[in-house]
Structure 1
Amino acid sequence: MAVRALSLWVAFLTIWPRPIDAHDIYTHLKSQSGNSCCDNSDCRPAPYRVKSSGVEMLIGEDWVWVPRAMVEHRALDGDTGETNGGHWCGERYEGGYITYCAFLPPDLASARQGSER
């Protein structure tokens, strides 16, 4: 019985998608200051919304304001498109969030520049 349970467990682990595979799109990313954006546990696709006060990203169930200096407008290789190009790297800290890096699609940067003229 124990051998069968062990065999099933090994089979389950073999077919279960590993988080590190999906996380590989973040491992090379650096912030604008040159620091690593990610420590293999803090980056994720994130829906976003652009408001007059700036960008907010949905992290879990919370809309988190993202400092403008942390936002980069670029496409990430390996992006599956479920958040229309939004990605967030950071962590929960003292009841809030710290943003290390945030990524939005490049076309938003050109649209914003056009609206500021």
Structure 2
Amino acid sequence: MRLPFHALSIALATVALPGTAGAHDWYQGLVSPHGVVCCGNTDCRPVPYRVDASTGKEEIEANGSWWPVEYDKVLNLSTPDGGAHACWSNPRGRPEFRCIILPGMASLTLPVTPAVVGR
């Protein structure tokens, strides 16, 4: 028996796409710089990222609007897809960000200052 093309496409897409839990697993265990758990099981997701040309400030999109990056919530790690991700709980209005991950963060290194001994 041959499946119609659309039924076959749906079946293949269902098998090929990871489940919600599997795709969300890498967020588990992340903690904000303030010690807050980032993810409440559905609060983290990929987000669009840009540098606003008029202000030069980094922004992420959440709840349908662009918001300035809150640097005190940024984690220094990379994401599986290399893109920006954010975790927040309120789905409407101004997001209450817990964690933000920006593209390229894992490649940043802090300058090393030599320890001064005996002064």
TM-score (norm. length: structure 2): 0.63
Aligned to 2:100: 102
Aligned to 2:61: 58
Aligned to 1:34: 35
User: 8 Å contact 1:54–1:68 — kept in the other structure?
Assistant: no
TM-score (norm. length: structure 1): 0.64
Aligned residues: 94
> How does 1:1-117 map onto structure 2 within 5 Å?
15=15, 17-51=18-52, 52=55, 54-76=57-79, 79=80, 81=81, 84-92=82-90, 95-104=93-102, 105-106=104-105, 109=108
| CA–CA distance in structure 2, aligned partners of residues 107 and 34 of structure 1 | 19
Unaligned runs of 5+ in 2: 1-10, 112-119
User: 8 Å contact 2:63–2:95 — kept in the other structure?
Assistant: no
Whose Rg is larger? 2
> Deviation at 1:92?
2.3
| CA–CA distance in structure 1, aligned partners of residues 90 and 57 of structure 2 | 20
| CA–CA distance in structure 2, aligned partners of residues 65 and 29 of structure 1 | 21
Aligned to 1:6: none
Q: Which has the higher strand share?
A: 1
> Deviation at 1:44?
0.5
> Deviation at 1:39?
0.5
What is the RMSD of the two structures over their aligned residues, measured on CA atoms? 2.9
| CA–CA distance in structure 2, aligned partners of residues 21 and 94 of structure 1 | 25
Identity of aligned residues (%): 33
Q: Which has the higher helix share?
A: 1
> Deviation at 1:28?
1.2
User: 8 Å contact 2:48–2:61 — kept in the other structure?
Assistant: yes
